[in-house]
Amino acid sequence: MWIDVAIKVGLAMVMMLIVINIAGIHSWVERKQSAVIQDRWGANRAGFTFRAPLLRWLNPVMRPIIYLGLLQPLADLMKLVAKENWSPVGGMKWLHASAPFFYLLFAFVGFSAIPFGDTLHVAGRDISLQVAHLNVGFVFIFAMAGLGVYGIVLSGVSSNNNYAFLGAVRAASQMISYEVTLGATVIGIVMVYGSLDLQEIVRGQGALLWGWLPKWGVFVQPLGCILFFTAALAETKRIPFDLPEGESEIIGYFTEYSGTKFGMFMLADFVETVMVAALTTTLFFGGWQFPYLHASGFVFPWGAQVAVGHYGVVAIQVISFLIKVVLFCWLLMTIRWTLPRFRYDQLMDLGWKRMLPVSLANIAVTGLVILLIEAL
């Protein structure tokens, strides 16, 4: 029993370490990627100052390697920790202080249901590379995302600021609008793979269509994938769906926050971005699956086989999952600096009048196709 508890704690720490590092580096990626898109330097103050004589071909003028700004996340952390944690006059101090904690807590808890590998065999034990094996995995994740909005609402209510309150109301209504579509798009995946368990859904994507195409969710539910990714992007409250924190309108649920508490809100936003990337990978892009990789190694459709040891297979699965997550994080950042912000009425119209009806139609078409396949 104690060994099982220790294993689960270890898996939770590994997952937490991965998420924190990916979310932390977002602070640098967001600045640097926007700079590349907008043709400017971006973060170039916090970095390494040593010279690299061996990289003369890359750095011919021998300038210090500082313009990359690689230490920007550390500089942000030091700045936020050093700042004063201020509470607004007339606000509810204990709610004001606890709101970012609740938001960050529920953002992290959802990762416990994300499988980042299949099964690891160590010392006669089978360790499922998933912190919490839940038979309703994505329902749990959606529930945690919904509870996270309470932190945003509390931040607006407790700030004694009309702008912060308006941002919190926008966040709550946006969550309600797009969580309906988010749940409807996943119904198609459940119908195809016959399970609510994320680990079983990923294993189901290891099959082949027509003997050569991986049965990933994006191939069996292409419309559902687009709808899910769009709705999940809206759930992260980032451009072009950043109405709850409209910077150009001086509106934001974190308007009255500073220091560490503001840093927690920033980190929670980045963690939500990683969650969207992880969920998209898990549901529609095979999760930890790698094409033609089985427990014994690679088995290709034309009959060739390449034997791979158990630990090698597990390593490839975990690395495959991480690479997919990082690629989707990059895509989310690219969208953030490419598309303009929606107006609030456009945001509501897109969610209720367009995406929701299309997602319901997708469920009907999926059911009809499954019935036709079974009939044949």
pLDDT digits (tens, 9 = 90+) for 94-120: 888 888 898 888 888 889 889 988 888
Cα 140–Cα 97–Cα 87 angle in degrees, nearest 5: 150
The pLDDT confidence band at residue 326, using thresholds 50, 70 and 90, is very high
Question: What percent of the chain shows pLDDT beyond 90?
Answer: 16
H-state helical runs in the chain: 2-37, 72-82, 93-109, 137-158, 162-193, 198-204, 217-220, 222-235, 259-284, 310-336, 344-349, 356-375
Which residue did the predictor score with more confidence, 46 or 315? 315
Judge whether residue 89 has pLDDT over 90: no
Task: State mean pLDDT over 267-283.
Answer: 91
Compute the mean pLDDT over every residue in the chain, rounded to the nearest whole number: 84
Cβ neighbour number for residue 159 with a 10 Å cutoff: 26
For residues 254 and 191, the answer to whether their CB atoms sit within 8 Å is no
Instruction: Give yes or no for a cis peptide into 73 (omega within 30° of 0).
Output: no
Rounded to 10 degrees, what is the CA torsion of 118, 122, 127, 130?
Answer: -60
Question: What pLDDT is stored for residue 48 in this prediction?
Answer: 62
- Find residue 208's DSSP bridge partners: 214
Residue 347 scores a pLDDT above 60: yes
Model confidence at 341: pLDDT above 80: no
Across the chain, which distance is largest between two alpha carbons, in Å? 72
Paired tokens of 160: 């004694």
Closest by Cα among 221, 185, 224, 181 to 204:
221
**Given its phi and psi angles, is residue 208 left (phi above 0), alpha (psi -120 to 50 degrees) or beta?**
beta
Question: Per residue in 241-254, is it b (16+ CB within 10 Å) or e — as a string?
Answer: bbbbbbeeeebbbb
Eight-class DSSP state of 40: S
Give me 281's structure tokens: 């990978």
In this prediction, residues 36-64 reach a mean pLDDT of 63
**Residues 27, 25: Cα–Cα separation, whole Å:** 5
> On the CB side of 258, how many CA atoms lie within 13 Å of its CA?
8
Measured CA to CA, the distance from residue 238 to residue 339 in angstroms comes to 11
Looking up tokens 């690629």 gives 327
Measured between alpha carbons, how far is 27 from 274 in angstroms, rounded to an integer? 13
Residue 77 tokens read as: 């952390």
Q: Are 323 and 350 in contact (CB under 8 A)?
A: no
Distance CA 172, CA 164 (A): 13
At residue 65 the predicted structure's pLDDT band, cuts being 50, 70 and 90, is: low
pLDDT greater than 80 at residue 44? no
Q: Which two tokens stand for residue 349?
A: 């119209």
pLDDT band at 3 (very low <50, low <70, confident <90, very high): confident
Q: Which of 30-39, 194-203, 237-246 has the lowest mean pLDDT?
A: 237-246
Least confident of 63-77, 110-124, 128-142: 63-77
Q: Are 246 and 70 in contact (CB under 8 A)?
A: no
The answer to whether the CB of 250 falls within 8 A of the CB of 163 is yes
Q: Decide if pLDDT at 363 tops 80.
A: yes
